[in-house]
Structure 1
Amino acid sequence: MSHSQSPPGGEEPSKGSGTMDFGLKGRHAVVTGGTRGIGRAITLALLDQGASVTVCHRQESAEADALRAEFAARDAGALLVRADVSREADARLLLDRAHETFGPVDVLVNNAGIITHLPLAELAEDEWARVVDTNLGGAYRMIRASLDRLARPASIVNITSAVAEHGMPNAAHYVASKAGIIGLTRALCKELGPEGIRVNAVTCGVIDGTGQKNPRGEEGKRRYAEMTALGRLGEPAEVADAVLFLASDAARYVTGAVLGVDGGI
């Protein structure tokens, strides 16, 4: 969807955090699934704030190459590691590489996720397991592997979806995994809080420019835009701004929160 002009009843999207200083200079963040869409926007926003960033990607791609080029052009304190969060050994590898390169991790952003669209009758057990184990299991593995690599205090931000609360047909495995992330967030905020580790979640609405194909095409995007209070789809940078807030000391008394970035869908 083009945002060159506001949709009827909607408003023009803001330009993002811009020059706003979230006090993250010199801190170290790890972002999973950071080569495209929301993950890429979070990665670049953290770099703009002066943080060092370690990013993981599951496989080589044009997006990974483009991010490497971006890092080189910025001469940024950034590291791209190939790791699959559905594997315990890869989660440990990622955290070890991050710690060796930039030291303790101040911010962990669990963004990696996958989705397929299948009715329940066609949803085989292996596909259920694949999606749940990547989305929910990946966040579990990363947090568990990070416990001896996190700074104290630290901030963990889990990226989930508004469908966790509203539901969506033909994606029971995806919805269940995203709802599980909210439960994981609320459980771990209580368990890890005494150590100074805050755990929060961001629930995304329909975000444009993520590379994710809408099963209903452009008509589907228009329909979702009309379902929001703001009359438009979101942008990856708008999710990144919420992550910057939760990562920063501005949110130092915020934990166990589920922050909706969904345009009032």
Structure 2
Amino acid sequence: MDLGLAGKKALVTGGTRGIGRGIVLALARAGCDVVTCYRTDSEAVTSLERELKEIGGTHQVVQADVSDPEQVSRLIDECEPGGRLDILVNNAAVINHVPYVNLSIEEWRRTLDTNVTGPHLVIQTALPLLGKGSSVIGMSSKSIDVGIPLRAHYTATKAALHGLYRSLAKELGGEGIRFNILSLGMTHTEQIDALPDAQREAMISRYNAMTALGRWGSPDDVAGAVMWLASDLAAYVTGAVIPVDGGIS
């Protein structure tokens, strides 16, 4: 199905691994020109550049820390050619497991800076390029509905995004810019594959049993929702939090 995304300009933060990589590749295959960013060099950067070259189109993979205003400014400058940005996906985030009693102020700030201040900086800096028909998409987590032990700091940042996006949907809706959140369940990425075999299989089995569809999501599942929200099929959808969680409970 042609979603009419060919020729659109997209920015996806944190796009060299996992969910972000799946979104970048899906948008590129749909004919979008994609800019994405990463924080540290790795083989994933090189392999993504290679895949994007094979797909064809005008794509850029840029080193940028979204918590740094100057680096965000340079990132948005890379989107400037063409004078517009049709699709903005705030995917970059950090996550770890820390007992709340041991949560340092440094780790709290690092998580907040990347997961909340980062999307704020990217959106605010990109505003001159956003306009009628632009779609801004954030990534949240089912964990904010249930709470997750050892991840109070991460869960708090994802809940904050809901308020940010819903408020921006109302403030900027008159300009034709849409803001929506995807609330994700368990998504199978290379981080899961890197776990020891027994731990990985136990996790997969546990969450399969908790999910209505009986399986984990994939980056392609998330990318499908992004593509829909980016297209005119979702032209009347804004301020929404949309579960992409397989019916997990």
TM-score (norm 1): 0.89
Aligned match for 1:257, one of 226, 229, 240: 240
Shift in Å, 1:107: 0.6
1:223: how far off? 0.8
Residues 214 and 221 in structure 1, CA contact (< 8 A), matched pair in contact too = no
**Is residue 206 of structure 2 the alignment partner of residue 226 of structure 1?**
no
**Where do 4+ consecutive residues of structure 1 move more than 3 Å?**
212-217
Deviation at 1:55, TM superposition (A): 0.6
Kept in 1, the 8 Å contact 2:131–2:176? The answer is no
- Per the alignment, residue 94 of structure 1 pairs with 75
* Alignment gaps of 5+ in structure 2: none
Query: d(CA) in 1 for partners of 2:190 and 2:144?
Result: 19
Residue of structure 2 in register with 1:167 after alignment: 147
Mapped contact 1:85–1:112 kept (Cα < 8 A): yes
Q: Unaligned stretches of 5+ in structure 1?
A: 1-19
Deviation sequence 1:167-215 (CA, Å, 0-9, x none): 1100111000111111111111001101110000101100002425679
2:31 is the alignment partner of 1:50: yes
**Map of 1:35 onto structure 2:** 16
Count of aligned pairs between the two proteins: 245
More helix by percentage: 2
Matched residue type, 1:261:
V
Q: CA RMSD in A?
A: 1.4
| Distance across 2 between alignment mates of 1:22 and 1:250 | 8
- State the partner residue of 1:139: 119
Deviations 1:225-246 (A, max 9, x none): 1111111111110000000000
SS at 1:256 equivalent = coil
Aligned pairs for 1:100-115 within 5 A:
100=81, 102-115=82-95
Provide the rounded CA distance (Å) in 1 between the counterparts of 2:144 and 2:125: 25
Q: Which residue of 2 aligns with 1:15?
A: none
Q: What's the counterpart of residue 3 of structure 1?
A: none
Q: Aligned-pair distance for 1:137?
A: 1.1
Q: In the alignment, residue 241 of structure 2 is paired with which amino acid?
A: V
Distance 1:111 1:125 in 2: 23
Instruction: Give percent identity, aligned residues only.
Output: 45
